[in-house]
Structure 1
């Protein structure tokens, strides 16, 4: 039975059929009806202070739910503000639906100059998204929204842009109930049985297999199935730098690629790599250079990949399994269930060595300095990280210190490794907490430069009363760039454009936004301050003054990080 509904209501219906119940953005006349109705229906309707932040928040929701997410931009300037988030979502493979307001289409067809808040938006954004379209006529609503969702979620996930001109807002449609996703797009694609059998044969024959786990395992929410597979294979789990969420139950044998000696040893000695949720890109040396080179001749490769055009691009693959991780990994689990491998002594030795490495780092990170050494900040903050929490990372030098010195192994970690976009941390933290319903504690570990990009979203966090603590490493500078100056021109060189006032107090800024704030300059005070911030019942900001010299000159594993640029240049 068909019912008459306005376009804005039909769009909500179509999104609800995909499980979407959250929208971010600052509404203009195109969207006030949609926002009003969404709130009536019980959606999370979040208005941040900048549309770019809305896009990052939506991306975090997508990462936490494994599904698509939605944000909007007001016509003209608001849509322009989405550009950074849109590009980030493209490179991070996040299925965010960006809706843009627009004036009535007749405006574009007229020969005029000096029109207010008007630019041909869909054409400008087309290169940054998988699909760009405009709802020109009301009865196109279903096909365009569904095509956007289809493109966003099919093959390699990614963002789409759909324009919503004012002349179609209130038009009524006579439409049936929305279709479920399986009726209009491919859902749960499995790999062919013959290929699964080939993969299982290689796994059973391998003496030293490894799992290479990437970003896609987290964003598809495939962790439980991947854990089962890791247990059946009884092998090391090697994380890419983008796949830094730890799998419950096997976290002790999850080692970061390139930054853990156990990971490097496991890679070098492996005779089979089963890669999940990774493009095999520069941060893993395409799976064929650096740490992979030594054993290349005797190593077999299995790759689970949703996009068939990605197979074999960065390196040859022996058995490609084309399909959705959420469907293919259970196929492998079922096929291996009767013949689990038995872990050899090497696995226990690698686990023990990695645990000893982490403990040694906690002991050897410089203690008692004022300002705090950034390595010690990471140790103290991650020791205080709640076991059930959501970890968010941001910043340059701070993140590099974090790769090496972190003492926490959380199963939800959010940062953007592929694009390297600074300033995402606070919006990611807000979006992740909104997706979680504010149940679990969230910790953002960031540098001061990154934190100030979207600092106004502290008010959003306070308004939503989110359980978020931001631990900010403050060196009053662009620390990573200061290091670049020093390496380029030598110590004592002029570091143009990288420093600002030491009178800056981010804890006081936080209090002005209605948050909890503390200033810390001794490492012994970091963990107690974090605990007080969580106990306050408000979002918190811990301003930790860190040693600027150490922050720019002593970044651990920096030489390893530089090898990511495979062609030798940035």
Structure 2
């Protein structure tokens, strides 16, 4: 509960007095430890169960950002983490605050995004009591164990440094995923002066086994038609990936979270087209496939859900998660280790002048043919929405696009090649939630304040988290919110019609976004064509407030010639 003045029953809630001011509390020490771990921002909504986490925050270097819903806090932390590669951190109240953030944690878990969620929980003597205490769950920790690398209850303030060290060790050297640490109300205010500051020591990322790496080198050395599939687990290894691809003359297909690992005009880049027949045929023709930092999962390799993606050649997999190596496609060589370390090792072992000659039609020529065939097959709606994204890229150098689950994002996932890593991501992969785009764009803008950040979202998805416009205004973040308005859940409507289901529930009332945006303190306008969009984007860069730009689908299609 966040507003004690409105709820007289809160006077009956347990109050745990803070120790004398000379003795720092566990909550105060927590803030200092987060500073030592390099935390810049905390996302959260203070409540009666978390105020003691805030005792030392105002005097710290950490900036607090207040969303309008805890789900927004989680998505902001996610967007920040995707741009920086560092964990986003949230302070969340017991019970409803935690269940509110669950969707954001699940999206981060599915996409391997580092996130630290620190929550309160009822006092130690009340845990699991079933007595009906404020915000009580039977076991809050157990609820979130399945959405995290680990979920831990801090029963003694003295254990705080160790538990935080465990969390940051996950972020630094394992498959990054959310971590949840809950602190009982009586522990938050416990004296913690005995906790001495210590250097932050984190483990390095694991290196591949030498023998297994040698086995992969052998396969790649003799391959005539090698091909690379790279995922978000290689987001920090773009230079090594490019070097290896060029040495092997191997076509490279990227997952959505790996966009930009090869520059957009690179002649070996297939893009993110693994669900299209032309790229699938190329993958099947490859005699050796190197899959690095990718789950080989459905939302990147089979978004048409027909089971048509296949690997016929020998498969080398590199992943920091040993279990993931055995999911979806079983490898001939399985390398457990960090993607960059593995790629560096492969490059060092593969001497370019002794590699065999590739077939004349492989590598760059085959990639060019595949890309041309794919582009020739785009229908008019795809071309029209690709024009929208091309307009964004041309008008905003250094652009970061944060997408929701909406039609232009689906198109951009296939047609758009980002100029660099961590510049195109969205919620249409993995968990596939709605409402992600706006708060995640806020987190991205905090991470990269000098770069333009565009939230690309549909009218349906925006209504999930529309109040976060106020958060962006309050934080002084001039994000650009591009609303693709097809007056409802357009993609689901088409899916129902295609399956001969009478559409029901897909035409919700669409509000006046321009008036609402201005009411929140944003600049706002509607545009219908690429020229008007380019002008609106130029104007938006001069504003110090968020800008909402609405595009009505029917008008855009009409203006670009559909």
Q: TM above 0.5, one fold?
A: yes
Equivalent residue number for residue 248 of structure 1: 263
Match of 1:465 among 476, 492, 515: 476
| Cα pair distance change 1:92/1:267, threshold 3 Å | same
Map 1:335-346 → 2, pairs under 5 A: 335-336=349-350, 339=353, 346=362
Counterpart CA distance in 1 for 2:268 and 2:278 is 9
Is the contact made by 1:505 and 1:543 (CA closer than 8 Å) also made in structure 2? no
Aligned to 2:175, the other structure's residue is in SS state coil
1:180 and 2:200 equivalent? yes
1:104 and 2:110 equivalent? no
Counterpart CA distance in 1 for 2:58 and 2:243 is 39
Is the contact made by 2:314 and 2:332 (CA closer than 8 Å) also made in structure 1? yes
1:258 and 2:270 equivalent? no
| Cα pair distance change 1:450/1:97, threshold 3 Å | same
Residues 501-559 of structure 1: CA deviation (Å, up to 9, x unaligned): 45x322222222222211123454333222222333432111111139989xxx9xxxx
Is the contact made by 1:376 and 1:523 (CA closer than 8 Å) also made in structure 2? no
Aligned to 1:132, the other structure's residue is in SS state strand
Residues 111-168 of structure 1: CA deviation (Å, up to 9, x unaligned): 734x333324223222332312211221221233233344555543322211122212
Structure 2: tracts of 5 or more residues without a match = 1-21
Is the contact made by 1:440 and 1:467 (CA closer than 8 Å) also made in structure 2? no
| Cα pair distance change 1:241/1:375, threshold 3 Å | same
Counterpart CA distance in 1 for 2:172 and 2:557 is 43
Aligned to 1:274, the other structure's residue is in SS state strand
Counterpart CA distance in 1 for 2:37 and 2:266 is 32
Is the contact made by 1:79 and 1:101 (CA closer than 8 Å) also made in structure 2? no
Q: What is the deviation of 1:238? A: 0.6
| Cα pair distance change 1:356/1:313, threshold 3 Å | closer
Give the TM-score normalised by structure 1. 0.83
Equivalent residue number for residue 548 of structure 2: 541
Is the contact made by 1:60 and 1:428 (CA closer than 8 Å) also made in structure 2? yes
Equivalent residue number for residue 515 of structure 1: 522
Residues 322-351 of structure 1: CA deviation (Å, up to 9, x unaligned): 112232222223223665857755333245
Counterpart CA distance in 1 for 2:212 and 2:265 is 27
Residues 171-192 of structure 1: CA deviation (Å, up to 9, x unaligned): 223133334333xxx4221011
Counterpart CA distance in 1 for 2:490 and 2:463 is 14
Match of 1:84 among 103, 113, 118: 103
Counterpart CA distance in 2 for 1:278 and 1:390 is 22
Aligned to 1:320, the other structure's residue is in SS state strand
| Cα pair distance change 1:354/1:41, threshold 3 Å | farther
Q: What is the deviation of 1:84? A: 1.1
Size of the aligned set, in residue pairs, is 526
1:528 and 2:535 equivalent? yes
Counterpart CA distance in 1 for 2:260 and 2:55 is 36
Match of 2:141 among 105, 122, 142: 122
Structure 1: tracts of 5 or more residues without a match = 367-372, 556-570
Counterpart CA distance in 2 for 1:277 and 1:418 is 15
Residues 254-310 of structure 1: CA deviation (Å, up to 9, x unaligned): 222335666334313211111111112224269x963435xx1xx121111112222
Aligned to 1:124, the other structure's residue is in SS state helix
| Cα pair distance change 1:387/1:376, threshold 3 Å | same
Equivalent residue number for residue 114 of structure 2: 95
Residues 40-85 of structure 1: CA deviation (Å, up to 9, x unaligned): 3322321111111111111222222223321121123222211111
1:433 and 2:445 equivalent? yes
| Cα pair distance change 1:57/1:272, threshold 3 Å | same
Q: What is the deviation of 1:453? A: 1.0
Is the contact made by 2:43 and 2:73 (CA closer than 8 Å) also made in structure 1? yes
Counterpart CA distance in 2 for 1:22 and 1:101 is 18
What root-mean-square deviation, in Å, do the aligned CA atoms of Structure 1 and Structure 2 show?
3.2
1:313 and 2:330 equivalent? no
| Cα pair distance change 1:4/1:263, threshold 3 Å | farther
Counterpart CA distance in 2 for 1:536 and 1:27 is 30
